[in-house]
Amino acid sequence: MKVIPVRRDVKINLDESRINNWHEAGEHVTHFFNALSVLFPAGERLFMDSVRAYKDQVTDPELKQAITAFIGQEALHSREHEEYNEMMDRSGVPALKLDKMLWKLLGGLQKGLGKKLSLAGTIALEHYTAIMADAVLKDPKVTGEKSDEGFKQMWQWHAYEETEHKAVAYDVWNTVVPDNVYNRFIRRFGMVLATVIFWPVIMYFHARLVFADPNTKGKHLQGYKAVAKMLLGKEGIFRNAMSDFFDYFRADFHPWDHDNSHFMKEIDVFVEKVNQAMRNPNPEVKKAVRARMSKAVTKAPVAA
User: Phi-psi bin for 92: left (phi > 0), alpha (psi -120 to 50), beta?
Assistant: left
Q: Who contacts 289 (Cβ-Cβ below 8 Å, separation ≥6)?
A: 82, 83, 86
DSSP assignment of 273-285 equals HHHTT-----HHH
pLDDT computed for residue 304 by the predictor: 36
Q: Which amino acid makes up residue 138?
A: K
Q: How far apart are the first and last CA of the chain?
A: 42
pLDDT the model gives residue 279: 66
Contact assessment for residue 134 and residue 260, using Cβ atoms and an 8 Å cutoff: yes
In this structure, are residues 198 and 128 in contact, taking their beta carbons and an 8 Å threshold?
yes
Which of 278, 275, 282 lies closest to 9 in space, CA to CA? Answer: 275
Report the distance separating Cα 78 and Cα 55, nearest Å: 21
With a cut of 50, list the residues of the chain below it in pLDDT: 300-304
DSSP category for residue 303: P
Tell which residue, 256, 269, 266, has the closest CA to residue 130. 256
User: CA 303 → CA 52, 104, 144, 298, 300, distances in Å?
Assistant: 17, 19, 46, 13, 9
> What pLDDT score was predicted for residue 281?
65
Cβ neighbours around 169 below 10 Å, total: 28
Q: Cα angle at 296 between 295 and 301, to 5 degrees? A: 115
Q: Which of 11, 81, 3, 4 is nearest to 271 (CA)?
A: 11
